[in-house]
Every structure is written in C-alpha cells, then in structure tokens.
Amino acid sequence: MHRSFQAFVLAASMLLGIAAPAWADLSVLVAIEPTARKDGLMVSRTGLESGLSKLMSEPVTVTTSDDLTDAMRATRSGGYDVFIAPAQVAASAIGHGYELIGSTDPAEEYLLIGSKEVGDVADLRRRRIYLPQQDSLYTYLARGLLNASSLSFKDLGRVQYARYPQAGLTAIELHQADATLVRREDWEPWSKDSRTGAKVLAKYEGVPGGFSVVVKKDLDAGARAQLTKWFAAPLRNAGIRPVAAHAELDSYRKVAQLGTFTPTDLAGATLVGVAEVRRLMSQGVILVDTRNQQEYAQRHIPGARFVPYGEKSLKDVAYDAALDDFAGLKSLDPNRPTIFQCNGPECWKSYKAARAAIGAGFKKVYWFRGGMPAWEAANLQTASGL
C-alpha cells in the first residue's frame, strides 16, 4: 500500500474512532562497510527490530549485509524503507528518493598517498596501489580521485586488495606498493615516524563518517519524524551510535558524483569556461554540441553546431571508443579550432568527442566541461530548434 494513502487511511481511522489497519512491514538494511568490521559486529539486528517495531507499532524487518554492491543496487530500486549505511550507499539513496536523517560520526578526510618515487597522481600509471576491500569506501574514493586525473584502475600496473586500511602504509614502506588511500587520522602519526618520503598526492574532504541513516521520502511525515527522533537518541540494545552529525546534503552529492563525473583535465585539450567560450566564438571558433537531437532542439547555445556523440561505452576514462558512434567528427575541419560541450561535468560525450578529435589530429581542441549548465547559470541567452 502506498505510504501517502496509508497516511490518509490512518487519519480517517482516527476521526472515525476505529482501529487502523496494519501496514506492510517496514524494511531496514544495515549495510556494513567492509573496513569497519568492528562497528558491524556491534550492530544488533534483533535489537534494532525490537526497538523500531515498538516505535512504529508495526513489524519491522532488519537485514544486515556487507555486500555493498547489492546495497547500492537496492538504493536505486527502492528496495528498503530505511538504509543505515556508509556514505557512498547513503549518497546513492539520497539521489533515488530518500531523505537524510544524519550520520553517527563527524566528517572525515581521506588522502591518496604515494611513495617518494611518485611525482603526482598522473604518475601512478602502470604503478601498484594497495586498497582495502574491493567494495569499501576507500576503494570508491580512490577510484574517484584517480578518475579526476584521467586515470582508471585499468591504467595501473596492479591493484591489490587486502583487509586492513592502514596496512597500505606498511606496504609502501616495504616497497610492495606505490600508493594507497588512508584517513588523515591514520596518516599523520605514521608520517611523523616514517622516513620513507611518502607524500600526499590528493585528498578528499568532508566524507560523512560512520553510519549514515536515510529514509524513503514517501513514508508519511509522522513516521519520518519519529524515526529522526529515535535515531538521534541513545539506541539501547541496537549497537549503533546516535545520529549526532548532520553534514550538508552537498557532502553526499559530492560523494555520489565522485568517480562518475568527467576528469578535471584532458591532455591535448584546453579547458575553457563561459567567458572563454564567448570570446572564442566571437573570433570564429566553432562550438560543437555533442548532445542528442532532442536536447539540442529544446535548448542550445546560440551558434553551436549539432554534432551528436552516440555513446554506448562506459562513463570511465578507460572507455572503449569502438562501442561509440561519432561519425560526425568527419564533418568537422581538423585545421579549425574547435570547442566541444555537452551537459556539464557529469556528461561524458564532450570529453569523449574531444579525445576523438585529439586522436584524429585536430590542431586546436577546447573542452567546455561546464557545458549547458554553466552557460545557463551565467544567465546567458539560449536558442531552440534544429
């Protein structure tokens, strides 16, 4: 039964003085971060079920799992009413119809560490990285930080997965790895004692710590309020700390975007913003809109040329261009400076089109990564039609 209809029936029942019907069980998934086994062992499934059932006056089913791949899939399908999960799972849920209650721990900072032989993130190509658990938050963040520098795990020499996060620092010390990802609180004491010359290559701040709690938005407001109050109080017999931290939603959005957005640089191309695009177009530089026909017809930058990029490959720097169709590239003049754009940082079409142009020998390639969202945010005029 739909939650909004449930709320209506409940209200009607109260007015008529009759007993309200029982709803379907409320379902909860506790997704356990593989690198936080201790916290996972503390969780009491029966304690959560008992406490929540009493709170909601209806049966509550609690499931625990350390399979984060399944947990991420469940956030997209709306498989549970409540998720108690690490940041990346909660972030995915928030993007698919869930409301944030908060997290049990303050935000944390994660660092990508490289040995003294590594110059920067790009220098990790064909080198070895040590990561704890394939589905862990550490691996998720590492993938995003590499992606921002146009690297994929496929570009590395070896990706080694093991159990403990801090062991990656030891692996660097023993020359068994060239890089790893750790929390700042683990890095600082180790770096003071170490003489390896290891250094910070990149960092990611503001990652919500511990468990984050999210609830379905279509639960009635009263139920959501009860859950928010309950999770904020000491959770006796549940084995979970109270939800005391309340990171901004933007923190979760950034986590959700990490690893799915395009890199922030593209070798062989010049990145340009709105002002540069306007200046270049006034000088006769061609702007290529790589979006689909419907998007272009609905709204585009005046003067932009429609040359769609047919994308079937993965949204990853190691994508297979053979799966895509960019026949329109042949209609462009490689001797003429060209700007490529699409729907902003999360759209990969202009990134791939720019790479195709670079590979085809175009003499001057510009990449307008901000695309249509940046243009519209500047309150500039748009056109419609083909």
Q: Are 34 and 68 spatial neighbours (Cβ–Cβ below 8 Å)?
A: yes
Q: Are 137 and 229 spatial neighbours (Cβ–Cβ below 8 Å)?
A: no
Q: Are 337 and 286 spatial neighbours (Cβ–Cβ below 8 Å)?
A: yes
Same fold, 3-105+209-257 and 109-206: yes
Ordered per-residue pLDDT tens for the chain, 386 residues = 444 444 444 444 444 444 444 445 899 999 998 887 777 778 999 999 999 999 999 999 999 998 887 888 889 888 899 999 999 999 989 988 999 999 999 999 999 999 999 999 999 999 999 998 777 889 889 988 998 888 888 899 999 988 788 889 999 999 999 999 999 999 999 998 888 899 999 999 999 999 999 999 999 899 999 999 999 998 878 889 999 988 888 899 888 877 678 888 899 999 999 999 999 999 999 999 999 999 999 999 999 999 999 999 888 888 899 999 999 999 999 999 999 999 988 899 999 999 999 999 999 999 999 999 999 999 999 999 98
Cα(57)–Cα(126) distance, integer angstroms: 57
pLDDT of 17 reads 45
Q: What SS3 class is residue 316?
A: coil
Q: Choose the CATH number for 270-377 among 1.10.10.10, 3.40.250.10, 3.40.50.1220, 3.30.1330.40.
A: 3.40.250.10
The model's pTM is 0.71
Contacts of 365 (CB under 8 A, 6+ apart): 268, 269, 270, 337, 338, 340, 354, 357, 358
pLDDT of 63 reads 94
pLDDT of 4 reads 44
pLDDT of 2 reads 41
Token code pair at residue 321: 């261009």
DSSP β-bridge partners for residue 160: 130
Q: Spelled out in words, what is the top-level CATH class assigned to the domain 109-206? A: alpha beta
pLDDT of 22 reads 41
Q: What's the CATH number for 3-105+209-257?
A: 3.40.190.10
Annotate 76-112 with b (16+ C-beta within 10 A) or e (fewer).
eeeebbbbbbbbbbbbbbbeeebbbbbbbbeebebbb
Q: What are the CA-CA distances from residue 312 to residues 191, 292, 323, 327 (Å)?
A: 44, 13, 6, 14
Token code pair at residue 369: 């990564």
Instruction: For the chain, give every domain's residue range.
Output: 3-105+209-257, 109-206, 270-377
